C-alpha cells in the first residue's frame, strides 16, 4: 500500500486548481487530512462521500452521493470478482487515480488523459445530492 499512498501524495501535491475526492471510507481522508487541509487553502476542494455521518469528525465540507450511486458503487461484480471503490481523485481535470480492492487484492489505476478525466468529473457531478453539507467541528 506504500506505493499507492506515495502516488496519491504526488497527485495531491501536483494539483493546482481543483481536486475532486470521492471516498466511502473516512480512513483514507484521515490519512491525507493534513495535505487536504493545505490544499483547501490554495485550490477548489470537493470532497464526496457516501455516508455523511461517517465523516462528521473531519473539518471539511462534504457532498453526498445519491442513494442510487451508493447502491451501484457498493455492488460491482465483473467476471465474478467483487470490486470495492476505496478512493477516487481527479486533479485539475487532467489526472485521476482510483484505488479499489478487486477480490482480495488492492489496485490503483492512474489515468492521465484529460478527456477521460473530464468524463469522470461529469459522472461525479451527476450523482451528487443537491445540498452542500458543512461539518462544524
SS3 135: coil
Q: How many domains would you assign to the chain?
A: 1
Q: What region, left, alpha or beta, does residue 13 occupy, with left being phi > 0 and alpha being psi -120 to 50 degrees?
A: alpha
Q: Provide the pLDDT for residue 125.
A: 84
Closest by alpha carbon to 91, among 125, 114, 62? 114
Per-residue pLDDT of the chain (137 residues; tens, 9 = 90+): 689 999 999 999 999 999 999 999 899 899 999 999 999 999 999 999 988 899 989 999 999 998 888 888 877 899 999 998 999 999 999 999 999 998 889 999 999 999 998 999 888 888 887 665 555 44
pLDDT of 1 reads 61
The CATH number assigned to the domain holding 21 equals: 3.30.870.10
What pLDDT was estimated at residue 39?
A: 92
**Does 61 fall in a domain?**
yes
- For 123, the domain range is 2-128
Asked, for residue 41, whether it belongs to a domain, the answer is: yes
For residue 101, the cross-strand partners are 84, 106
Query: How far are the Cα atoms of 6, 50, 52, 105, 115 from residue 119, in angstroms, in the given order?
Result: 25, 20, 25, 27, 6
* Assigned domain for 39 exists: yes
Which pLDDT score is estimated for 67? 86
In a domain, 72, yes or no: yes
Is 37 domain-assigned?
yes
Amino acid at each position: 500500500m506504500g506505493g499507492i499512498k506515495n502516488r496519491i501524495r504526488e497527485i495531491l501535491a501536483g494539483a493546482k486548481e481543483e481536486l475532486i475526492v470521492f471516498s466511502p471510507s473516512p480512513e483514507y481522508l484521515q490519512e491525507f487530512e493534513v495535505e487536504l487541509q493545505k490544499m483547501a487553502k490554495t485550490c477548489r476542494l470537493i470532497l464526496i462521500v457516501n455516508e455523511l455521518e461517517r465523516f462528521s469528525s473531519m473539518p471539511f465540507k462534504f457532498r453526498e452521493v445519491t442513494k442510487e450511486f451508493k447502491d451501484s458503487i457498493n455492488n460491482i461484480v465483473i467476471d465474478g470478482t467483487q470490486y470495492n471503490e476505496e478512493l477516487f481523485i481527479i486533479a485539475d481535470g487532467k489526472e485521476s487515480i482510483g484505488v479499489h480492492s478487486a477480490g482480495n487484492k488492492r489496485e490503483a489505476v492512474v489515468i492521465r488523459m484529460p478527456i477521460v478525466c473530464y468524463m469522470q468529473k461529469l459522472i461525479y457531478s451527476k450523482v451528487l445530492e443537491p445540498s452542500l453539507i458543512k461539518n462544524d467541528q
